[in-house]
Amino acid sequence: MSAASITTTTRRDAVARHLLSGGTPEKISPSDALPLRNGATAPLDAVPVMDFASFRHWLTALLSAGCRITAFFAVPRGDDGKDDASFFLYAVVADDNAGLLRLARVGVCGAYPSLTRDMPALHLFERVIYEKWGLLPENHPWLKPVRFDNPTGPAAGEMEFYRIAGDEVHEVSVGPIHAGVIECGHFRFQCLGEEVLHLEISLGYHHRGVEVLLTGMARSRLLPLVEAVAGDSTVAHTWACCALLERLSGVLPTSRGQHLRALALELERLACHTGDLGAIAGDVGFLPTSAYCGRLRGDWLNLSAMLCGSRFSRSMIVPGGATFDVDAALARDLVNKTRQTLRDVEGAVRLIWISPSVMSRLTGIGILPSTAAASLGIVGMAARSSGLALDVRHSHALTDLPEPPAMCTKKNGDVGARAALRHTEVQSSAAFCANLLENIPSGAICAPNWRNFTRPLAPEHIAVALVESWRGEVCHVALTDAKGDFAAYAIVDPSFHNWAGLAYALRGQQISDFPLCNKSFNLSYCGHDL
């Protein structure tokens, strides 16, 4: 008996080979689409409108050449006044080798031929668009609710789950409330004995309608909301939003402000990676590393609190720069504490690598092969652990930033690889922080005109920003209307791409390995649900 495959096998080998070799896209005319640098803006008119056949051809060609879908969303046209059900589908594609984002759109009405069978990375985007706007992706292989945002539709978790028939097959149902201190979501396992044949993940319990709220609310109220999109990635989401607001309001972030943001971003990464290394150890019952890393994660959070008063970097980042400065004494203190905490993390994590009983539980468990990772559009830390060299700090760097920590990748794609990758990134991020604090440029931490963002923004523009959170790329896209308000706002948290990777990695694993696999990805529920 074998479980049906979500992913198609066509082209994914080619895509993975391409990503692994770092080649350049071929046979694509970049002039077809609007090229944008990360954090840049352009008039909405500059985004070419394609017919569906060319759009499909363009997207397929880019994705098979190793580019990635970063955002895919629908915006009501409203401009022609002819048809209420008339929309533009926008695609934002990351061309990592060129360091560019490529944008195009297509007008659709009511329904369009699904692109998921050719490009599995689009599967969830198409489902969300259908759920939100009723735009039917015809022939979508897995058209189920995502965020359950229709008050007259099914309640959260009410859907037809994929089931495997057979006398000895049984089903395990977990959630929405889980056993630990964790967000809510529903998991449905199809098992044969201990073996998981298929895991289906149904989320949406945390749906707060963030994207819709952002378009409607007073912009003076916006920052606290963006900080709470995903609480463990506050810096990444706030930075991405501020990058958009800056370009749309004509504010230039200061160099020192950019450096302070980079510092806060790496502190966030250090805390989360350290905490997850401890949690991985905890899930195999290895208490020493679990206990030490639980404490050390807090020590990293305390560095964020020394910087800005909040362990989760709340109120640290505003358009134009940062709100809290680092003087020489604080910088010295932070450098010393960074080195000291890194030393303790090294000691705690080393115990994992020298304990055969732990390593045997991490090795070969929850494998996400690079081919599947590329095909599903997995990003960030999980993609790098499967051998894909994706890191927007390198490929789509924002301006005025120091050289990012060296990119590292691991080959195996198992829990061990994800743990090892986090360990390596802790080392490189800590070195980066210490170096940054010793070489921070002088000047103002924030642009004097930073409050411009509450005034009307550049009208009828589009802006895109990517920031590499500890989990992977955070993407924010904003469209403005003729009055300079947001006409649409799209957020793609790395979890949105990566939940499918967790489901894939659990295929053929023991159900008891689920917590371990889950923790190695540690995806955000609220970032997915928005």
Partner 1 sequence: MLEIFLERFRQKSRTAAFPRDLPSLPPRFRGRPFIDTGRCDGVAGRECGFCAAACPLQALLLEDGKPALDMGMCTFCGECARACPKSALVFTTDWRLASTIRKALVVRPAAYQAPERPDAGQTASEGLTSPNSPDNKRRYALPELPLAPVTALDSVFARSFRLRQVTAAGCGACEADLNVLGTLVYDMERFGLDFVASPRHADAIILTGPLPRNIQTALKDCHAAMPAPKVVMAVGACAISGGMFRNISSAAVGSVQGASPHVDVNLFIPGCPPHPWTTLDALLRFIAPHSVSE
CB atoms < 10 A from the CB of 139, how many?
A: 12
When asked if residue 33 is in the footprint of partner 1 (CB under 8 A), the reply is no
When asked if residue 348 is in the footprint of partner 1 (CB under 8 A), the reply is yes
| 520 vs 524 by CB, closer to partner 1 | 524
| 165 vs 181 by CB, closer to partner 1 | 181
């640290």: which residue's tokens?
A: 316
Q: Where does this chain touch partner 1 (CB under 8 A) — which range of 22-30, 54-62, 79-87, 343-351?
A: 343-351
CA atoms within 13 A of residue 428's CA, in its CB half-sphere: 14
Query: Taking the CA atoms of the chain, what radius of gyration do you get in angstroms?
Result: 22
User: What's the closest the beta carbon of residue 34 comes to partner 1, in angstroms?
Assistant: 30
When asked if residue 385 is in the footprint of partner 1 (CB under 8 A), the reply is no
When asked if residue 444 is in the footprint of partner 1 (CB under 8 A), the reply is no
- Which member of 205, 489, 504, 521 binds partner 1 (CB under 8 A)? 205
Q: What angle do CA 215, 379, 93 make, to 5 degrees?
A: 60
Order of all β-strands in the sheet with 41-43: 41-43, 461-468, 473-480, 486-492
Q: Three-state secondary structure along 337-404?
A: HHHHHHHHHHHHHHHHHCCHHHHHHHCCCCCCCHHHHHHHCCCHHHHHHCCCCCCHHHHCCCCCCCCC
| 156 vs 463 by CB, closer to partner 1 | 156
- Which member of 78, 166, 193, 209 binds partner 1 (CB under 8 A)? 209
Alpha-carbon distance of 394 to 441, in angstroms, equals 21
When asked if residue 270 is in the footprint of partner 1 (CB under 8 A), the reply is no
The residue type of 219 is R
Alpha-carbon distance of 396 to 37, in angstroms, equals 7
When asked if residue 225 is in the footprint of partner 1 (CB under 8 A), the reply is yes
Neighbouring-strand partners of residue 299: none
Cα 47 → chain centroid = 24
User: What's the closest the beta carbon of residue 170 comes to partner 1, in angstroms?
Assistant: 21
| 326 vs 464 by CB, closer to partner 1 | 326
């007259």: which residue's tokens?
A: 152
Stretch 49-78 residues interacting with partner 1 (CB under 8 A): none
Strand locations in 454-497 (E)? 461-468, 473-480, 486-492
Q: Where does this chain touch partner 1 (CB under 8 A) — which range of 134-142, 347-355, 385-393, 464-472?
A: 347-355
The residue type of 7 is T
Stretch 136-195 residues interacting with partner 1 (CB under 8 A): 147-151, 155-156, 176-177, 179-184
Q: Where does this chain touch partner 1 (CB under 8 A) — which range of 249-257, 303-311, 468-476, 501-509?
A: 303-311
Phi, psi (deg, nearest 5) at residue 367: -75, 130
Q: Computed from CA positions of residues 509, 515, 518, 519, in that sequence, does the dihedral angle turn out positive or negative?
A: negative
When asked if residue 356 is in the footprint of partner 1 (CB under 8 A), the reply is no
When asked if residue 451 is in the footprint of partner 1 (CB under 8 A), the reply is no
User: What's the closest the beta carbon of residue 527 comes to partner 1, in angstroms?
Assistant: 8
| 106 vs 523 by CB, closer to partner 1 | 523
User: What's the closest the beta carbon of residue 178 comes to partner 1, in angstroms?
Assistant: 8
User: What's the closest the beta carbon of residue 65 comes to partner 1, in angstroms?
Assistant: 36
When asked if residue 449 is in the footprint of partner 1 (CB under 8 A), the reply is no
User: What's the closest the beta carbon of residue 264 comes to partner 1, in angstroms?
Assistant: 13
- Which member of 73, 88, 312, 470 binds partner 1 (CB under 8 A)? 312
Eight-state DSSP code of residue 156: T
When asked if residue 504 is in the footprint of partner 1 (CB under 8 A), the reply is no
| 77 vs 186 by CB, closer to partner 1 | 186
Tell me if the bond preceding 176 is cis, omega within 30° of 0: yes
Alpha-carbon distance of 209 to 199, in angstroms, equals 26
| 232 vs 473 by CB, closer to partner 1 | 232
DSSP letters spanning 169-208: EEEEEE-SS-SSS----EEEEEEETTEEEEEEEE--TT--
Q: Name the residues that contact partner 1, by CB under 8 A.
A: 147-151, 155-156, 176-177, 179-184, 204-209, 212-213, 217, 220-225, 227-232, 234, 275, 288, 291-292, 294-295, 297-298, 302, 305-312, 314-315, 323-325, 344, 347-348, 350-351, 354-355, 524-526, 529
